[in-house]
Chains A and B, each alone.
Chain A
Amino acid sequence: MRRRELREGAQGLLMVLPPVAVIAVFIGFPVVAAIAYTLGRAGGPNSVVASLGQRQFIVQHGVTLDAYRDVLGNKTIHRDLWATVWVTVLATLVVVVVSWAIALYLRLADTRLARIVSGLSVVPLFIPVVIASYAMLVFYSSDGFMRSVAYHLGWHSFPTLGFTLWCVFLAEVWVNIPFGVLMMSSGLNGVPNNLIEAARDSGASMPRVVRSILLPMNVIPTVIVATFTAIYVLGSFTVPYLTGPTAPNLLGPSMSNFFSAFNQPQQAEVLAIVVFVLALGIGAVYVWANVRTGKRSAVAP
Chain B
Amino acid sequence: MSTERRLDGAQQRAEAPASPAPERTDVGLQIEHVSKDLGGRTIVDDMQLEVKAGELTCLLGPSGCGKTTTLRMIGGFLIPDRGRVLIGGNDVTKMSPDKRPTAMVFQNYALWPHMTVFKNVAFGLRLRKLPRQEVSDRVAQVLELVGLTHHVHSYPARISGGEQQRVALARALVLEPKVLLLDEPLSNLDAKLRVRVREDIREIQQRIGITTVFVTHDQDEALSISDRIAVMSGGNVEQYADARSLYREPETTFVASFVGAMNSYEATVVPGGLELPGKLVVPCDDLSATGDGTFEAGVRPEDVHVSLNGDGAPADVVREVPRGHYKEIVLNAGPNEVRAFVSADLPPAEHVRISFTRALLYRDGVLQRSSAPVSV
Contact = CB atoms under 8 A, between A and B. Distances in A.
A300 B96 contact: no
Contacts of A212: 123
B123 A199 contact: yes
A202 B114 contact: no
A263 B111 CA distance: 61
B236 to A, nearest CB: 25
Nearest to B108: A194
Interface residues of A, number: 23
Interface string B66-107: 000000000111000000000000000000111000111011
Given A197-B77, A197-B97, A203 B112 contact: no
Contacts of B155: 296-297
Contact of B158 (A201, A204, A298): A298
A199 B104 contact: no
Contacts of B98: 200-205
Nearest to B159: A300
B38 interface: no
Given A197-B77, A197-B106, A202 B113 contact: no
A202 B158 contact: no
Interface in A199-217: 199-205, 208, 212-213, 216-217
Most chain B Cβ neighbours within 10 Å, of A195, A198, A297, A298: A198
A194 B96 contact: no
8 contacts: A194-B108, A200-B96, A201-B98, A202-B171, A203-B13, A296-B114, A299-B157, A300-B160
A192 interface: yes
A213 B172 CA distance: 17
B97 A200 contact: yes
Most chain B Cβ neighbours within 10 Å, of A192, A195, A200, A202: A202
Contacts of A201: 75-77, 97-98, 102-104, 172
A201 B95 CA distance: 11
B114 A216 contact: yes
Q: Which 3 pairs show the lowest CB-CB distances between chains A and B?
A: A202-B124, A198-B110, A194-B110
Contacts of A199: 112, 123
Nearest to B102: A201
B175 A197 contact: no
A203 B175 contact: yes
Nearest to B114: A216
B128 interface: yes
